[in-house]
Each structure stands twice: as structure tokens, then as C-alpha cells.
Amino acid sequence: MASVLVVDAANVVGARPDGWWKDRAGAARRLHEQLLVADVPGEEVVLVLEGAAKGGVKAGRDAHVRTVHAPKDGDATILAEARRAAEKGRSVMVVTADRALAANVTGAGALVVGPSWLLDRL
């Protein structure tokens, strides 16, 4: 079981053609709400938001979900979060479909799963 689950929100939201592109902030808010009640592995869920999605959820902790606003691109923030957790000796699982990001976080010691893995648990 991963003690930290890092979620690439853009990839997860983008995996469902439900009109998210019309309201990125609303899609981020819905994902956050689902993560609060989902049965997912990990003591902590780190939800990384970028761009307009940041308007849907304030940065900070809400129960076991910590929302992080990427200052620039989400990939760099996701990698930094995975590295930080691994450096603390925690097991890390990253949810993303981005191949380059997956290779980078795997190199940092994280296990990678795709968005469908998470969506099946929401």
C-alpha cells in the first residue's frame, strides 16, 4: 500500500469526456470531493492542480487530501511531491497517463498507475 498517492489532476479529469473543458475549476472541485470519500490506498492523497483548475479547490489540507497548486507546470510539481515523499522514506504511488512524467517519477522510486485505476475507485 502506498502511503502517499500523488494525483495528476489534469490527467485524471481529462480521462473522462464529461465536459470538464467547459469548467476546469468545477472538474477539479468534483475530483477533490470524490477523493475525500474514495477508498484509495495511502495515508495521504496529494492532488496537484494547474492552470484554471486551481480556481476549484484552495491549496491546503482537507482531511487526508492535500491540494497543491502548481506554480507553473503540473509535472514538475508532481515530480517534486513524489521525490519529497520518497526522501522521507514513504512509499509513493503516482496517478498519471503522461509517459515522460511516469518515467521521471519511477526513477524517483514511485509506482505509477493510470487514471482509469483511480477512476475505477471513485
pLDDT tens digit string along 7-36?
999 999 998 888 888 999 999 999 999 999
Inter-residue contact 93 to 110 (CB < 8 Å): yes
Residue 12 CA to residue 7 CA, distance in Å, equals 8
CATH number where 93 lies: 3.40.50.1010
Residue 18: predicted pLDDT: 86
3-class DSSP state for residue 101? helix
Q: Which residues of the chain have pLDDT under 70?
A: 1-2
Residue 69 CA to residue 88 CA, distance in Å, equals 21
Closest CA to 79 of 101, 51, 49, 99: 101
pTM of the model: 0.94
Domain range enclosing 24: 4-119
Residue 84: predicted pLDDT: 95
Residue 28: predicted pLDDT: 96
Number of domains in the chain: 1
Residue 1: predicted pLDDT: 46
